[in-house]
Structure 1
């Protein structure tokens, strides 16, 4: 399956919700939430893309890295390339409903598993979103990461307990969903969590034998706090620019966060990543793993599991070529020496 065909099918299927632009930069879809756009002016969405585009690479060809190793391991999981499919829910009101929630989750998880990487599942309202997520994780024998939103009260604990029964070993909370407008419109607001609340949640996950990812860290102090409360990983993320207008791009804040906490916690990043070259840039800026959202949604809507696998194959080819051309024999060698003009 060719990605051009996948994108053409997705463009038709997502008409009115996503234009599947040649360059997915948030300019055409500003304010389209629900939908695939960024909140308000779309500034935060665009900042993710422009910040990453501003990172330049040093080309080096006098080396022996002719066949780079793209594989890595983190959080007890193995990855053929250091990529995760981001947790996205609400296919009907964000993507047009061309696929059911179940079919979308199956495409993401199945395509990722077949490609040697890991998919994440989302949460939300109505209940079929989490039902599809948990059911999909069971179908792939726990090969996925369940993300639960920062609900108040018993709902959070109940959903986490249900997630433990799927066979998954890694769980996350997208605290960057706090205040998400789509949930507020449905009468189900979510809220930030105090350090004490997070300690309790993480202790619950650890007691169940799992690892915990805290998604939505954009500052050094909160990265440090994530370590203090016991998180196993953070996702440097502004929720794709969908919750707070005028935030910086993740590629802008990642270097300072990585400098402060690298080696003490697994660092994942998302935001504006479109191809394998972008993946390499994020690794060089300090990430251990890279999470990708909208392009995986397009791949799933346009081609199901085959479309997801085709996208991962394209990512791997692009990443491999970029590693050859920057002299990286493996992903661990993708550091700041390959970045042009990086002063930190």
Structure 2
């Protein structure tokens, strides 16, 4: 069967990266794969996408830590939310001698890739998402069910327990999309049963979110709440649509639509200050980068961890296929949006 054109181009690009990097390494003893004296073991790092402010910020933090901490990182790649690309990137890392791999699989069904890495004894650190199957050394993420609960409680309180809310869901084949959606729905059903929820599946795509929200507003012009599960991709198209329809009223003014987001990037903070949105849950891009590299280096050194409280304000929990370090993710409103400790106020 003929390989699709975009996959063929991607495979060629991966081979070229491998060849170029191997040439740059030469045949000296101090290679980038960490086999030479004085070099740390090599770490492969794959970014999920380049069309999100959140993931762009995560990439900046990674590069800063790689530089400041002397991490022996192979050239970073990005699989652009395509599972086939992710597997191709991982194979390149394997061929370059990676001793650990950091990835952020947005579609969490990557068991075949993880099984291959397990067989080769290459530990995996999964950032932001928890693969459904396949062993991982450590998952670095926050409690995503708490995201949905915090959004529910904020909206329920500010809407007085009644109204209509659009929920811009992430991909439901992702553990994050499922966790946020299930927790939000359960909280609303229990605590605010008079609020009508419109679940809009988006596959984490801003254009899909905007198109579905536009149709919903045409049928429900009295919509008074929105929960965006990913501000990094939903914020701009949502605010643009509301502005076009004359519905972007500042907080405190009649007709304002109460909006809660997830991510906590600088653009969301600006929107909170302006009154365009009301709150966001700060998903810690800075800590994701820091501890992804921390655990990757720990894995190459043969270190092990156990469930329980950590020394960095988080909790490690036991999974069926590994461990997960659940990092803190605070709710941000106008009251604390200028807090300098929030990564959205100090990106990279």
TM-score normalized with structure 1 length: 0.32
- Larger RCO, structures 1/2 (Cα 8 Å, 6+ apart): 1
Larger Rg: 2
TM-score normalized with structure 2 length: 0.31
